[in-house]
Structure 1
């Protein structure tokens, strides 16, 4: 019997590539996104259900889960991929911007997970894969809100192991480094310096560094890691992806807080 994966944020980037990979592997795929009417490629694939899901809308979450179960009979794997980055000085961020970053990256992920858990508990089986980031364990300047959500996702996922493993449900964390996706486009909200002169020069420097950051174009690596996490049958928790992620995480383990901060400041030059 074909297995089924349910993927959020499937309209582009890691999410869309993950839909393609699972489809190639013979899985049923529920590819969810905010505007399914704009998606042509995935909707044309056999065994792929393209349906609406906005992680900030609990009604759309419930409807998407119901549609996927109705179409395929069950869901074996949940991939929480939807998210974006709010970049800029914390002081410059409005309350609305702060709350939206938390609503999408953290509260939305929790809402989708809670909607899926009754189904997985009943079957006493399932894998929940949360797409975090190397930014879930190391930090960069002017990304405090984004890091706050990803650090929270890491802690949430790690803790959930204890309550879900005995029910036959495994939890996994994917930690990509820098990849050429739409993260720097529609998946990024630039708060910037917010008109505060004290932040202008370091923010401009950060923008310059980001523009020149070596990004991998092979986003299939991330989809491969997600597929591995879905199918390896182990209790392995974290899956770093990309050479930069592995190097940064290794450096963070080897250095104390002050040494790591000095290294980052030296690389970025602020």
Structure 2
């Protein structure tokens, strides 16, 4: 595990928390833990602290409240299993409004399990998932999609026997105008085709006859047609030629420009760092780092973990 100190047997002290530029506690986690105020003492003196609160501190509280209003997705201490295997262990992460966040890890680290937990394809054993402040932990996938979570899976999820136009139409049936209303009356399908205008050229082609890159385009366009507030892309750049990867990066930035947040699952830190505002690194089912791409690239332990 990255950053684990000798003599520290508590795995929890090495887990990241949602925030900006917060890596692991590192080798002095015992000292850091001793400096954390005890919750019951803080609660006992809460009234007195409020009465004596300095104006600058009250302003800081106001900034925290404003920060809470910006949070779009909150994943709090989730544990997820695949059969008997305990895959995710206390994973906590978040995505803000208008933010591009990358989730980076090697194959088998738990990236897809996090994505499937957020979208409802896998049930979480414990913990909470909140979207715009609403607890959606127990909601089925289609209701999460209606709330405004768009998802393009790694394998594209395109129905091979349907035409591209019919694949896009699925979002219209699912949304039932609910998601369209959230987009302020914008024609979500037309908006999706502005991100990938290439898709309009093969609307009548069956999904079976599409290339890998074309399937990914249709998958993203179909999720965009739901008028989401959050787009989740699992390995959007995997298996694509470099020129196509650049096209997809441009599409991601265009989606962000439309005011849509993105959560990208990636195995390649360089690709993730090129477009992310912030990123998380996962290893063996635990978040081991969170911060900016620059901080991740400069962190030798992170780089060593991702190289295997």
| Fold agreement, TM-score > 0.5 | no
Q: TM bucket by the smaller chain?
A: 0.3 to 0.5
Please identify which structure carries the higher helix content. 1
Relative contact order higher in (CA < 8 Å, ≥ 6 apart): 2
| Larger Rg computed on CA atoms | 2
